Amino acid sequence: MKKTQEHKDIKGEVATRYLAIYVRVSTDEQAREGLSLGEQEDRLKSYCKALGWTTEVKVFIEDGYSAKSIDRPKLNELLSEVKEGLISKVIVTKLDRMSRKLLDLLNLIELFQDYNVSFVSISESFDTNTPAGRLTLQVLGAVAEFERERNSERVFENMFHASKGGKWLTQPPYGYDLIDKELAINQEEEVIVRRIFNEYLRKGYSYLRIATGLNKEGVEAKYERGWSHRTVKLMLLNPAYKGTLVWNRVNAKKKKREEKDEKDWVVVDNCVPVIVDKETWDHVQRKMALNPGVAPRAVSSPHLLGGLLKCGHCGYGMSVSNSGSKDRRYRVYRCSANKNKGMCISKQYRADEVEAWFKEGLGILFEKCIPSISLSMRRKFAENKRTELEKKVQSSKARYNRKVEAYSSGLIEIDDLKQEKVRYDEVQELLNNYQEDEVHVYDVKELESLVQNRIKTVVDAIDVLPIEEAKPLLHTLVEKVIVKGERDIEIGLISI
């Protein structure tokens, strides 16, 4: 239902509604076009005076807000007063002062019409109280939105070509400074980056433990107040540290940031100063993928196999409790399904005995199983290599198709298209010629040496270090331990 043209004041008497002047400028617009707030206000007041509109005028000033969203403080205040019946006209200098999106603009005008408020734009010379004004508004709004999308495409093309050339288009990550749109290593921060990768990969620290250590030492983060679990995790995932620039990975236009399809990413290798060698970075990614969510309490548990030990009967985790008489208490591992639900027939095991079996089992792996473990890892590396090549082919094909479209539109020269075709053919040839039994990252001896060193480090840590320091190392090697009976356990290792 439409509202009346009048409203009542505090005394209950009928009062005339006022005119609302809305002026807006975002910082980048003011710098680019000189659209000052004062200039807009003067023009609008002069327009009202010229037309003989003597009603009281109220000015709504929106300073530093983009028109991409209509969720703006002064606009919200204006809309609130429209709904209260206090406003008769809303006047702007141009349509885009209110909104750059046609749908948002039309929704606002529909709201104004519901409350008998006309919308006037002086640059386009129309008033929505007339049918001609409403038609003109829709046409001009559509044209404005079309032009904005065209501008967005041009900006994307410019940023696309800049990123392909190795230019960094956002804030520099921790460890770098941005100089002339190129990253340069910050030597103080570089030390912290290397420390984080080392503590996660070699020492087995969790994201939270790494962050806690940095906060206790007073190490400043780059953009946040202190370090967090999420900050550390995102750093470990950042390919910039191995020298790779990745752009257009996330769709930032949506309220909830979503990762785009990998074929749409712009990936440029070897264009950023390297802080972490590729081998270390790849190891970290494999570890994060294979062990994404070990519960913090499992790592911090004062019991060696807490969080790792599983029941061989039902697969549930086994927790630690105390057993025995009052004078002779001892620790036991007991199936959680048996303890909490009575659903499993598994018995409880003395903790010191199970931990002794586990150490013995690791010793057997160390002495006898290295060749079979390295063979399994060799196959895993081969599979990963093929998958990596297939992804590169997909990405290269997508880039080539985009270049074809760009050439068809006259945006690039034929030489650029030919170069992209050569790169695509090279990656495709690598995949075609790849043999499953080839290992390009490590040979068998290097694999065996890697596994031996890791197991020896963990075994030594168990015997020498306190439990709270040995456990993180243990989680870098062991994925799970299954107890099946007396001296019968199974140890599952994480791929290294």
- Looking at per-residue pLDDT, the higher value among 434 and 51 belongs to 51
pTM over 0.85: no
| pLDDT on residue 442 | 46
Catalytic position from the list 26, 228, 300, 319? 26
d(CA 417, CA 350): 69
Residue 348 belongs to some domain of the structure: no
**Max intra-chain CA distance, the chain:** 100
- Write the pLDDT tens digit of every residue in 173-209: 899 998 887 888 999 999 999 999 998 887 778 888 8
Looking at the fold, whether 38 and 128 belong to one and the same domain comes out as yes
| pLDDT on residue 459 | 67
| pLDDT on residue 476 | 67
Structure tokens at 96: 């885009």
d(CA 29, CA 40): 13
Please state, rounded to an integer, the average pLDDT across all residues of the chain.
76
Q: How many residues does the chain have?
A: 496
Q: Decide which of 241, 265, 293 is a domain's last residue.
A: 293
d(CA 27, CA 189): 32
d(CA 92, CA 85): 19
Is residue 161's pLDDT more than 80?
A: no
- CA-angle at 36, arms to 32 and 38, nearest 5°: 175
| CATH at 183 | 3.90.1750.20
Residue 307 belongs to some domain of the structure: no
Looking at the fold, whether 143 and 192 belong to one and the same domain comes out as no
Looking at the fold, whether 186 and 142 belong to one and the same domain comes out as no
Nearest Cα residue to 172 out of 186, 191, 161: 186
Residue with tokens 């991409």: 68
Question: In which band, very low, low, confident or very high, does the pLDDT at 31 lie, cut at 50, 70 and 90?
Answer: very low
d(CA 304, CA 295): 15
Residue 159 belongs to some domain of the structure: no
CB-based contacts of 228: which residues, under 8 Å, 6+ apart?
A: 211
d(CA 251, CA 270): 24
| pLDDT on residue 326 | 77
d(CA 201, CA 14): 75
Residue 308 belongs to some domain of the structure: no
- Looking at per-residue pLDDT, the higher value among 439 and 432 belongs to 432
Structure tokens at 28: 């980048």
Nearest Cα residue to 321 out of 308, 302, 296: 302
If you average pLDDT over residues 328-342, what whole number do you get?
80
The verdict on whether 346 is a catalytic residue reads no
Looking at the fold, whether 359 and 464 belong to one and the same domain comes out as yes
If you average pLDDT over residues 453-476, what whole number do you get?
67
- Write the pLDDT tens digit of every residue in 348-403: 888 888 888 888 887 777 666 666 655 665 666 667 677 778 888 887 888 888 87
Looking at the fold, whether 237 and 127 belong to one and the same domain comes out as no
Looking at the fold, whether 199 and 140 belong to one and the same domain comes out as no
CB-based contacts of 47: which residues, under 8 Å, 6+ apart?
A: 91, 122
One-letter amino acid for residue 381 of the chain: F
Residue 90 belongs to some domain of the structure: yes
CB-based contacts of 214: which residues, under 8 Å, 6+ apart?
A: 192, 196, 221, 226, 227
Looking at the fold, whether 123 and 181 belong to one and the same domain comes out as no
Looking at the fold, whether 364 and 478 belong to one and the same domain comes out as yes
How many Cβ atoms sit within 10 Å of the Cβ of residue 277?
14
Looking at the fold, whether 37 and 129 belong to one and the same domain comes out as yes
Looking at the fold, whether 98 and 215 belong to one and the same domain comes out as no
Judged by phi (left if over 0) then psi (alpha if -120 to 50, else beta), residue 341 lies in alpha
d(CA 171, CA 189): 15
Residue 163 belongs to some domain of the structure: no
Looking at the fold, whether 278 and 363 belong to one and the same domain comes out as no
Looking at the fold, whether 144 and 186 belong to one and the same domain comes out as no
- Write the pLDDT tens digit of every residue in 82-122: 999 999 999 998 888 888 777 788 788 889 888 989 898 88
d(CA 143, CA 423): 40
CB-based contacts of 209: which residues, under 8 Å, 6+ apart?
A: 199, 299, 472
Residue 18 belongs to some domain of the structure: yes
Is residue 300's pLDDT more than 80?
A: no
Split into its structural domains, the chain has a count of: 3
Q: What domain range is 442 assigned to?
A: 353-496
CB-based contacts of 459: which residues, under 8 Å, 6+ apart?
A: 359, 362, 363, 366
Residue 301 belongs to some domain of the structure: no
Phi/psi for 184 (5° steps) reads: -130, 140
| CATH at 113 | 3.40.50.1390
